[in-house]
Structure 1
């Protein structure tokens, strides 16, 4: 039996993680964005909003695979959430920290495909402004932190790297689907 397959999309804000995930889901509905638990305020779409009490309970049970703080919120990858995502299909986890990738790969056994999505800072800024982000400045700080993270962790073995200025979302989705099919020894969808 093949192990559970999951996708980790890594990249700075506005590098195309949401857009590529939507294209993956259009290609095959088995792909779905993993909704991290978000403790805080702001945008709720794409997250499971939670409370500090829920986070504490997950921590006490040892069910926090990875948590990070950004934009004044805490974002959590939790074991019960990942279990549910795998039960529903192929989770697509969005991350912007190499430590998060390592925590997930080492803390939740599965066949994780690591995909680096990248675009220049100027494109991240343009995309952020075009989609109406009210915190573009904070997102650009996160872009810089992501660049620094890559520079300080040069040994990360990406299964696929996609320049989202050069590749259309549908093309990126097909490449990711082909990658998973190859790893599973099956034909792509």
Structure 2
């Protein structure tokens, strides 16, 4: 049996993680965005909203694979959530920190394909403003933090890098799907 496959999309805000994930799910129903546990306020779409107590219980059980704090909220990737996501197909996990990638790849056994989605800072600004974000300044600060994170980890290799100013979401999805097919073939061949 080949190992379960998952996708990690890494990149700054507005680099296309949501859009590429939508294109992946349109390409095949096996792909679905992993809904991280979010403790806080703001956007709830794409998250499992939780409480501080729920997060504490997961932490006490050793079930938090990775957690980060951004925009005044806590975002957690938990083992029970990943178990359910893998049971349903191929989870697509969105991350904006290299430490999160390391924690996930090292802390949850699966064949993880790690994809860097990239766009310049001014594109993040344009896309954020264009979609009506009320916190564009915070997203630009997160873009800066992502750039610093990449610079601090120069040895990080990517299974695939996609410049989302050059590739359409559908092209990016096809590239990711092809990557997973190749990896599955290599695992069984």
Scaled by the length of structure 2, what TM-score is found?
0.98
Q: Hey, what does 1:157 align to over in structure 2?
A: 157
The CA deviation string for residues 161-187 of structure 1, in whole angstroms up to 9 with x for no partner, is: 00000000000000000000000018x
Deviation, 1:155, is 1.0
1:66 maps to 2:66: yes
Matched residues in 1 for 2:154 and 2:9: separation?
17
SS in structure 1 opposite 2:112?
strand
The CA deviation string for residues 60-99 of structure 1, in whole angstroms up to 9 with x for no partner, is: 0000000000000000000000000000000000000000
Matches within 5 A, 1:92-131: 92-131=92-131
Matched residues in 1 for 2:12 and 2:157: separation?
17
Q: Hey, what does 2:88 align to over in structure 1?
A: 88
The CA deviation string for residues 134-161 of structure 1, in whole angstroms up to 9 with x for no partner, is: 1000000000000000000011110000
Matched residues in 2 for 1:171 and 1:38: separation?
30
Matched residues in 2 for 1:156 and 1:109: separation?
19
1:166 maps to 2:166: yes
Give the RMSD, CA atoms, in angstroms: 0.7
Q: Hey, what does 1:181 align to over in structure 2?
A: 181
SS in structure 1 opposite 2:2?
coil
1:35 maps to 2:66: no
Query: What are structure 1's unaligned runs of at least 5 residues?
Result: none
The runs of 4+ residues in structure 1 deviating greater than 6 Å are: none
Q: State the number of aligned residues.
A: 186
Query: What are structure 2's unaligned runs of at least 5 residues?
Result: none
The CA deviation string for residues 80-133 of structure 1, in whole angstroms up to 9 with x for no partner, is: 000000000000000000000000000000000000000000000000011111
Matched residues in 1 for 2:154 and 2:16: separation?
22
Matched residues in 1 for 2:131 and 2:83: separation?
32
Scaled by the length of structure 1, what TM-score is found?
0.98
Matches within 5 A, 1:20-31: 20-31=20-31
SS in structure 1 opposite 2:44?
coil
